Structure 1
Amino acid sequence: MEHLNTEKKYNIWIWILSIAIPLVVAVLFSVNLHDLGYDVKPLSFLPPIYATINGLTAILLFAAVMAIKKGNQALHGRLIKICIGCSIAFLAMYVAYHMTSIETKFGGEGAIRYIYFFILITHILLSIIIIPFVLITFVRGISGSYQRHKKIARITYPMWLYVAVTGVIVYLMISPYYVH
């Protein structure tokens, strides 16, 4: 019962963040500091960094699952916290890049164009959907509600892994078209 009380305490924050983060990102994504008259240098060095962070997140998520399968709950918890930190760092860099840079258009043609946009759209949609899943899964873990944590983690893990891996793929596919 105590687990449920702890979860309820966090539920309002989970939903606030799950709605606010995509809204704030959408608003900031549409703001370009150059268009507002600010003389800022494009942060063109960021895409390979945040793509690397996505790759690192994928590796750490896999390591976190391996840790819990081996019974190492402490390592699992630390790795998940690092993954959440990586996701926050990615998001901050992603928004900063788009606020200071000209939009990059994908230049591929034919089938590769459809593949790119399929991966990009599913990546974006799941990156929004994953927010409450990660937060709920995390809260259930820290509150000690392990059976409920395990149940939702089976959904959260593959989605989060997909978002991390496709973030790298999207970067690799669009990187030849970046203007520096």
Structure 2
Amino acid sequence: MESTLEKKERLSMWVIGVLSVAIPVVVAILLFMPKENAEIGGFAILPHLNALINTGSAVCLIAGFIAIKKGQKDWHQTFMVSAFILGSLFLVSYVLFHFFGPQTKYGDLNGDLLVSAEELAALAIPRGVYLVILLSHILLSASVVPLVLLAMYYAWTSNWPKHKKIVKWTWPIWTYVAISGVVVYLMISPFYQF
């Protein structure tokens, strides 16, 4: 017979699994959902806010890493919970922006893609770099969701062997996602049309 603890863990794993699939699916739908005459309104500040949130998350992740290496477990916990809260706020803000906001394409000025050969040539390498960073950011942000949720769950339940094992993968991916999110913002922000 299954114990209460085993039932709770099974339910927690089920919830983590559902969220790990649902979050990337919702984001993908929002990114590819056609938007006719999108009105950004008061949501225009969200990309800038998202960059600040990602920066804060990256700082917390790095500070949390330094704290645990110094044996400062309380500080580590504070920084990692802060990174998780910031990541959650980012996700809500990101979903809101992409639900209401228009798509922005790298190299798109005033709604018209640059057309002169000189302008296209000047953008070719930066656009390639942007697309590589963006693609890696998107793929890793989807894959880090279950890792973060599991790392937080194992810490919450004081399952330190499993927590330590999973954070070896979680921390570098999560940190890359936070930093690359800021880089993507810095590269695309000159092309915002709002």
Change (3 A) 1:22 1:73: same
Measured after TM superposition, the shift of residue 24 of structure 1 is 1.9
Amino acid in structure 2 at the alignment position of 1:148: K
Per-residue CA deviation, residues 117-148 of structure 1 (Å, 9 max, x unaligned), is: 00000000000000000011111112111122
- DSSP 3-state at the match of 2:41: coil
Judge conservation of contact 1:137–1:152 (CA < 8 Å) in 2.
yes
Task: Identify which of 150, 165, 176 aligns with 2:164.
Answer: 150
Residue 81 (structure 1) shift: 1.5
> 1:91 is matched by which residue type in structure 2?
L
Match of 2:119 in 1: none
1:134 aligns with 2:148: yes
Once residues 31 and 42 of structure 1 are traced to their aligned partners in structure 2, the CA distance between those partners, rounded to angstroms, is: 20
Alpha-carbon distance in structure 2 between the residues aligned to 1:56 and 1:104 = 24
Q: Secondary structure of the residue that 1:134 maps to in structure 2?
A: helix
| Count of aligned pairs | 176
Which of 5, 12, 15 pairs up with 1:13?
A: 15
Q: Which structure carries more relative contact order (alpha carbon 8 Å, separation 6+)?
A: 1
Counterparts of 1:161 and 1:38 in 2: how far apart (Å)?
A: 32
- SS for the counterpart of 1:71 is coil
- How far residue 153 of structure 1 moved from its aligned partner, in angstroms, is 0.5
**By how many angstroms is 1:48 displaced?**
1.1
Of 4, 11, 24, 1:22 maps to 24
Identity of aligned residues (%): 38
Give the secondary-structure state (helix, strand or coil) at the position aligned to 2:43.
coil
Q: TM-score, normalised by structure 2?
A: 0.82
CA apart distance, 1:78: 2.1
Q: Larger C-alpha radius of gyration, 1 or 2?
A: 2
| Residue 156 of structure 1: how far off its partner (Å) | 0.4
Q: Which runs of 5+ in 1 are unaligned?
A: none
- CA RMSD of the aligned region, Å? 2.2
- Structure 1 pair 39–102 and aligned structure 2 pair: CA distance change class (3 A): closer
Q: Partners of 1:118 and 1:7 in 2: how far apart?
A: 38
- Normalised by the length of structure 1, the TM-score is 0.88
Moved over 6 A (4+): 37-40
